[in-house]
Amino acid sequence: MTDHHIGMIVPSSNLTMETELPRMLREREAVLPEDRFVFHSSRMRMQHVTPEQLRAMNAQTERAALELADARPDVVATACLVAIMAQGPGHHCTAEAEITGVLRSQGAQAPVVSSAGALLDGIKALGAGRVAIITPYMKPLTRLVAGYIEDAGIEVVDALSLEVPDNLAVARLDPADLRDHWRRLDLSRADALVLSACVQMPSLPSLQPVEDAAGLPVLSAAAATAYRILTELGLPTFVPGAGSLLSGGVPGRAAA
């Protein structure tokens, strides 16, 4: 057996990334027990998803990365999609490079994954040029996320905002409700559905059921992050019951 050490940089009020990512990889361990996963987190203070608090949280990135460098993880994932996207198109590349620089300064060689970059990679890996998205954000932030995705060459054909401004309240949303929410979207031109364009909004229990009902690939920011982590570790991108992206049939990493 091999233990893979995963470092995570998460907002202080994020409850979901440290729930869904380990849950996905435990499900994988049940089928492929030769690979096990250990998690180490560093937190950055953020309570409300506002431009001011997102900027303040981003300013804590160096400190969080330094803490993880001391643990010598095999891969590091930074897990606040909207904090990165709010800084402007393509900022995931800048954020990943910043964290990589901090890690390297301490002798840590781990590759860096961002949930924002992972979502784009996951959509492209599925061969989807058009997506519909569901977010927990207020409508202005949802438009920002849609614009970020479109800047990467992916058309957002429809978007649903659940308009929950408090980050802890987002974590308490019932993922089963997504099995109804997706029906409010126009999927007639969509190649894929992003069931949760936010690593704080729970969606894992609904990924496969919605994919089965909708008849097109369904992914989330958390599932896309798991896909990128497995890819960076050189492991098969398989998690049972987590949608097409993690079916094991979408190998490798999509070109950025």
Q: For residue 51, give every residue at least 6 positions away whose Cβ sits within 8 Å of its Cβ, in sequence order, or none.
A: 86
Q: Label the pairing between strands 35-44 and 218-220.
A: unpaired
Task: Quickly tell me which residue has 């949608």 as its tokens.
Answer: 243
Examine the residue annotation and report whether 198 is marked as an active-site residue of this protein.
yes
Torsion of CA 7, 169, 28, 128, to 10 degrees: -90
Going by the DSSP 8-state scheme, the letter that residue 2 receives in this structure is E
Q: Which helix (H) or strand (E) holds 247?
A: none
- The strand order across the sheet containing 218-220 reads 155-161, 130-135, 192-196, 218-220
> Of 6, 64, 80, 223, which one is the catalytic site residue?
80
Examine the residue annotation and report whether 80 is marked as an active-site residue of this protein.
yes
Torsions phi, psi of 253, nearest 5? Answer: -120, 130
Rounded CA separation 155/157 (Å): 6
Q: How far is CA 172 from CA 13, 136, 141, 203, in A?
A: 11, 11, 19, 11
Torsions phi, psi of 157, nearest 5? Answer: -85, -20
> Of 173, 198, 242, 246, which one is the catalytic site residue?
198
Residue positions annotated with a catalytic role = 80, 198
